[in-house]
Structure formats: structure tokens, C-alpha cells
């Protein structure tokens, strides 16, 4: 069965239901070896970024596997790394349904899920049980009812619980679906958060005798002035990497005119490609290799991934592209990046 036909069947389901069915199918596919067949030959394009060895630079973005239920299955598609989450200290149900919408004409999604997850203890147990020994990032956030001024407490709680199991940790301060969260990207709130997290990172590094890099995920909806100020704060506090970008509140091009185009929430997919790549380029020119950049947003082909690398990304991540192009996209991109054009920047402070 080709993915085109399978997608037609999945798209007859509610988007969130289809998501659950697809994850179940991937877990089953790994057990019978189907995922490896879909992935095909994925040549090694190893990179050392933030002191971590990545077998290839193509990763899964956070959001697809919030609870760490399918790490082995997703990795078997050929990803060089898998990022799980966003996870919060306590379980939460997220926003009311419906909260996930397809825009097929634009190969886009709008979501206002609101960090729905089973909590950090559940995720940590899943990571303890997995047999996967590759690179796993963990994306952490705060509970909806935690005041922004107390956000550090939530991030520290998550960080401490997942630290033994994570290859790197991503601090999500950019989801548009948790009220007030994006305030943490700027000014004294950002400085206080980063100061506290770096102190906790140092404490945990000593306790576990293992350094786990810290990445901050930012929004695309910033002015250049805000972006550079945020980048300077990341440098000042010794953060290891920046993930650019999360979903956008903007509705570029014809997106707003589509069915569901005016739904509230974050937009991902093809319409985000240009803006997210601009952000990566601006960061690349400003940072000059002082932080690693993970390029995210609108990647649906090997050419898209190379554009992110050419703009300054050391690594790239996919999510929405998988929904529209299918799991074979991973191997396609890895193969496209294999060769002279794959030599992207190897960046970020190495402890």
C-alpha cells in the first residue's frame, strides 16, 4: 500500500485520531521490519554537534511523540535523532477538542493542543524502558496553571527527572498555546530562566558525571531586534543550542483563506518554510558558530533540508512534512544530504 493511499484513509479520520492510529501503526511496523524497508538505505552522515555524536543530521521534531511511547519505532525510520515531548511536570489534558486541523492545500497543520501529555514521570519511565541507544532529545515545558514567574520551578523539575535519559534537553518557551509562555523568550524573564537552568545543568552534570546540552526553542514571530536580543542572552548564559523555529501565529500566503485557516493556534508545515529559514539565516550570521542551530519548519524534501543547512543549521528536524509526504521522507532527505552538500556547520560550545 503506498503512502498516498494510506494518507487518504488517515485523512478521513479526525486529525488527532489519525495521529494516534499512525503511531500505533509505526510501532507495529517496527516489529515486523516494515519501517526499515520504508526507510531504505540511510547512509551515515555523522556529525558531532554540542559534543553529541549524531549518526545523521535529520531528526524528529517534538510534538509527534509527546510521551516517549514510540521512540524505537520512529528511530527505525532512519532518523539520526528523535526528540520527544513537550512534557510538563504534571500530566495535563491540554486544550478542548477539536484542537488539531489539516490544511492539505498548503501541506500545513494548525494546532492548539496545549502541551497535552502524561507528565514527566511517565515519560521518564518510557525512556528507562526503551532499548533504543541512539540520540534522544527531551523537550520540556511548564504546566498551564504555573505562573510565568514560577516557570523555572517546572523546567527544573522536568530537567532533573529526564537528565539521566536525555542526549540533550530542549527548553520550550515558544509554544503559542500556553498563555504567557512566549514572554519567557525576552528580557529579565529569559535571563532569570536561563540563569536557573544553567545552574541546574551544572549541578546535574556533577551528580551524574555527564554533561547534557541545553537547547532553547524559539518562535518565528519575533522582530529582528527581539531575535538578536534573545540570541545574545543565549550566548551570555552559555546555552548550547537554539532550535529555530516553533509554530507561527501568522498566516502566510493563502493559508488564512483555507478551510480551518482562521483557527487559532500555531501553524506548521510548508507556509512556515521561508520565515523559519530567514530566522536560521539571521541567527547563523549573528552567532558565527557560537551556538548550534537546529533548523525546523516546512521541511518536506531534501532540498528544503539543504536550504536550512546552507542558512546556518547544523541539524534539521521534521514533523508536518511526515504527515503529508509519509515516513519515506526521512530516508529521502538523509540520502539527499549525503555527499559534499552535507558538510554543515558543527557548532555549539563543547564542554
Catalytic residues: 175
Nearest Cα neighbor of 49 from 237, 217, 289 is: 289
Residue found by looking up cell 503511531 in the block: 23
* DSSP result, 320-348: HHHHHH-THHHHHHHHHHSSGGG-----S
Q: Which of 11, 219, 220 is nearest to 101 (CA)?
A: 11
Number of alpha carbons in the 13 Å side-chain half-sphere of residue 59: 32
Check: CB of residue 261 under 8 Å from CB of residue 103.
Answer: yes
DSSP-assigned beta bridge partners for residue 103: 108
Of 196, 186, 250, 241, residue with least CA distance to 217: 241
Kind and range of the H or E run holding 235: helix 224-236
What's the CA gap between 304 and 254, in Å, rounded? Answer: 20
The 3 state secondary structure assigned to 79-133 is: CCEEEEEEECCCCECCCCCCCEEEEHHHCEEEECCCCCECCHHHHHHHHHHCCCC
Amino acid at each position: 500500500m503506498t503512502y498516498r493511499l494510506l494518507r487518504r484513509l488517515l485523512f478521513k479520520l479526525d486529525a488527532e485520531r489519525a495521529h494516534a492510529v499512525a503511531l500505533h501503526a509505526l510501532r507495529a511496523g517496527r516489529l515486523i521490519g516494515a519501517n526499515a524497508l520504508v526507510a531504505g538505505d540511510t547512509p551515515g552522515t555523522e556529525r558531532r554537534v554540542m559534543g553529541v555524536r549524531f549518526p545523521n543530521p535529520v531528526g524528529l521534531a517534538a510534538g509527534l511523540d509527546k510521551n516517549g511511547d514510540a521512540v524505537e519505532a520512529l528511530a527505525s525510520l532512519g532518523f539520526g535523532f528523535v526528540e520527544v515531548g513537550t512534557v510538563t511536570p504534571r500530566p495535563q489534558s491540554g486544550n478542548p477538542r477539536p484542537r488539531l486541523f489539516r490544511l492539505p492545500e498548503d501541506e500545513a497543520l494548525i494546532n492548539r493542543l496545549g502541551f497535552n501529555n502524561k507528565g514527566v514521570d511517565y515519560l521518564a519511565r518510557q525512556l528507562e524502558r526503551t532499548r533504543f541507544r541512539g540520540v534522544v532529545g527531551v523537550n520540556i515545558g511548564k504546566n498551564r496553571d504555573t505562573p510565568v514567574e514560577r516557570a523555572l520551578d517546572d523546567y527544573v523539575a522536568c530537567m532533573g527527572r529526564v537528565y539521566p535519559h536525555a542526549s540533550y534537553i530542549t527548553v520550550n518557551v515558544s509554544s503559542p498555546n500556553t498563555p504567557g509562555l512566549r514572554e519567557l523568550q525576552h528580557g529579565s524573564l529569559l535571563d532569570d530562566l536561563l540563569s536557573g537552568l544553567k545552574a541546574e545543568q551544572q549541578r546535574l552534570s556533577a551528580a551524574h558525571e555527564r554533561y547534557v546540552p541545553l537547547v532553547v526553542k524559539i518562535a518565528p514571530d519575533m522582530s529582528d531586534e527581539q531575535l538578536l536580543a534573545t540570541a545574545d542572552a543565549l550566548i551570555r548564559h552559555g546555552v548550547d543550542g537554539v532550535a529555530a523555529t516553533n509554530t507561527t501565529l501568522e498566516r502566510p500566503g493563502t493559508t488564512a483563506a483555507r478551510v480551518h485557516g482562521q483557527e487559532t493556534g500555531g501553524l506548521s508545515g510548508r507556509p512556515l518554510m521561508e520565515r523559519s529559514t530567514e530566522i536560521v539565516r539571521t541567527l547563523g550570521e549573528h552567532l558565527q558558530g557560537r551556538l548550534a542551530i537546529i533548523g525546523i519548519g516546512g521541511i518536506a524534501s531534501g532540498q528544503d533540508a539543504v536550504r536550512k543547512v546552507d542558512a546556518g543549521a547544523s541539524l534539521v528536524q521534521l514533523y508536518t512534512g511526515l504527515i503529508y509526504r509519509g515516513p519515506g521522507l526521512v530516508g529521502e532527505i538523509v540520502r539527499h544530504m549525503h555527499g559534499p552538500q552535507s558538510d554543515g556547520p558543527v557548532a555549539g560550545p563543547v564542554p
